[in-house]
Amino acid sequence: MRIGIYPGSFDPITFGHLDIIRRAAKLADRIIVGVAAHSGKSALFSVDERIKLLNTALEQGDFPKDCEIIVEGFDTLLIDLMQKHKAQMVVRGVRQYSDFEYEAQMSALNAKLSDYDIETIFLAANAEYQSIASRFIKQVAELGGDVSPFVPKHVVEALGNIQGINSTKL
Ligand code: PNS
């Protein structure tokens, strides 16, 4: 059984993330979308809110039926989540070359930390989604811009519902 983990902050989920989930689902029998409590960034949405936004997006979207997609929060090391699920691969989306430096470092670190074989699979972001980053989405939303080209409708609403987004979190 091929089990993959797609970890991230997902603060909030974007069309770019959903595209990676859809494509990762073609490569595995089960994909665990791991919503990290510890990503080194302060988050706008709580882990529970991010999970809820993700699950709604997965219910509404069209995803490969032969892959089980599970959303789970984690506050441990990624490699511990992998071990818990007996996952063999990490999936990460890469937009620009500059993303790759950080990703390569993280992949090498995880390989070193883990005491069993894991592989990181990098999926090149679809050209259509290359400009999408959750960090920018939050900024655009805070400044009154239209984020509907980048995130599902319920996420647009969730961003709109946050009164006076705290700019220290962007
Ligand atoms: O979407 P992001 O913020 O780029 O994702 C980063 C993430 C969550 C994949 C990374 O910070 C992570 O794996 N955090 C869990 C804690 C961990 O294992 N840290 C060591 C590897 S950086």
Residue matched to tokens 């500059």: 98
**pLDDT band of 163, cuts 50, 70, 90:** low
> Number of helices and strands (H, E) in the chain?
6, 5
Number of structural domains found in the chain? 1
122 is a domain residue: yes
**pLDDT band of 164, cuts 50, 70, 90:** low
Alpha carbon of 150 to ligand 1 centroid (Å): 22
**pLDDT band of 166, cuts 50, 70, 90:** low
Alpha carbon of 1 to ligand 1 centroid (Å): 24
Nearest in space to 134 (alpha carbons), one of 162, 100, 96, 169: 169
From 38, 42, 94, 103, give the residue whose CB has the most ligand 1 atoms within 8 Å, as the site to mutate: 38
From 21, 33, 39, 41, give the residue whose CB has the most ligand 1 atoms within 8 Å, as the site to mutate: 39
140 is a domain residue: no
% of the chain beyond a pLDDT of 90? 78
Nearest in space to 53 (alpha carbons), one of 16, 8, 10, 6: 10
Mean pLDDT of the chain: 92
**pLDDT band of 169, cuts 50, 70, 90:** low
Say which CATH number the domain at 110 has: 3.40.50.620
Residue 168 has pLDDT above 80, yes or no: no
51 is a domain residue: yes
Alpha carbon of 125 to ligand 1 centroid (Å): 18
120 is a domain residue: yes
What is the token pair recorded at 1? 């059984």
For the stretch 33-58, pLDDT in tens is: 999 999 888 899 999 999 999 999 99
Closest protein CA for atom 14 of ligand 1: 39
**pLDDT band of 8, cuts 50, 70, 90:** very high
Residue 62 lies in domain: 3-128
| Burial (0-12, 13-18, 19+ Cβ within 10 Å), 88 | middle
For the stretch 108-143, pLDDT in tens is: 999 999 877 899 999 999 988 888 899 899 999 989
- Decide: 114 in ligand 1 pocket, CB within 6 A: no
Alpha carbon of 39 to ligand 1 centroid (Å): 5
79 is a domain residue: yes
Tell me the average pLDDT across 9-18: 97
159 is a domain residue: no
